[in-house]
Structures are given as C-alpha cells and as structure tokens.
Amino acid sequence: MNSLLFAIILVPVIEIYLFIKIGSQIGAFNTISLIFITAIIGVIYARYEGLNTLRSGFSQLIRNEAPIYEIISGAAIAFAALLLIIPGFATDLLGFLLIFPITRKLFFGKIINKFKNGTKIKKPYIEGEFEDIEDDDERKL
C-alpha cells in the first residue's frame, strides 16, 4: 500500500517538474500543443496496435494455441493508451514504450516465456485405436 501511495504522490510531482522545465525551454503554447499531439497520436496508434493484437489472438485460437502474448499485450496496450491520455511527459514516455511491439516484448518477454511453455489448448476428444473382438475371443473381458 505504501508503494501505491508513493506512486500517487511521485507521478504528479515528476509531471509538474517536467512541465515547468520543458515549458521554460519551448514555451507554454508549444508545451500544451505537444501534450495534445502526443495524446492524439498515442490513442490512434494504440487503436491500430490493439486491432493487430486482436487479429493475432484470433489466428492463434484458430491454430489451437493459447494466445498468452496477445492477452498480456492487449492489457499493456490498454494501459498505454490510458497513460497517453493522461497529460504529462513521463506518462507519455512510458505509454509509448508500452505501445511499440519491440519494447513491449522487452518488458514482458520473461513473463510470456514462463506461461507459453506447454499452453496448447486440449482437444475435446481422446485419440486412440480400437480393435473389434469377437464373442468367443479369449481377450474379451
């Protein structure tokens, strides 16, 4: 609980600091414009990546595989879109890192490999062979 409280206090402090520093360098209007531009571009790209992840998840289901990466990736994209909508430069940086597939694989690579081992979807039937046994056969139970 203490780390959550610490994050709730620390994130706005970092954002305010970055607003002041960047705003003093490029001006207030440019800073506000940059915040809106990153939010718009981030949401559009999050939608694009989300649709690609959904498409990939359906193709894995068709191949009878569990879409572990797609589930984790979809949650990360939703969180990244939320971070990009929140005004701020630090949250935008983290949001963009989560949206791009290359950096997302770096973040979640070890977690995904842990779950991916042996996650085939089981078939609803049992494969086997059978042989007809006659009534007078001694192998009959």
How confident is the model over 81-97, as pLDDT tens digits?
899 888 889 999 999 99
In a domain, residue 43? The reply is yes
| Cβ atoms 107, 98 nearer than 8 A | yes
How far is the first Cα of the chain from the last one, in angstroms, to the nearest whole number? 64
In a domain, residue 98? The reply is yes
In a domain, residue 141? The reply is no
In a domain, residue 101? The reply is yes
- pLDDT at site 141: 57
- pLDDT at site 138: 64
Specify the pTM.
0.70
- Domain residues for the domain of 67 are 33-116
| Residues of the chain below pLDDT 70 | 1, 112-125, 135-141
- pLDDT at site 116: 61
- pLDDT at site 13: 92
**Alpha carbon of residue 13 to chain centroid:** 27
Number of domains in the chain: 1
In a domain, residue 46? The reply is yes
- pLDDT at site 29: 92
SS3 133: coil
- pLDDT at site 118: 52
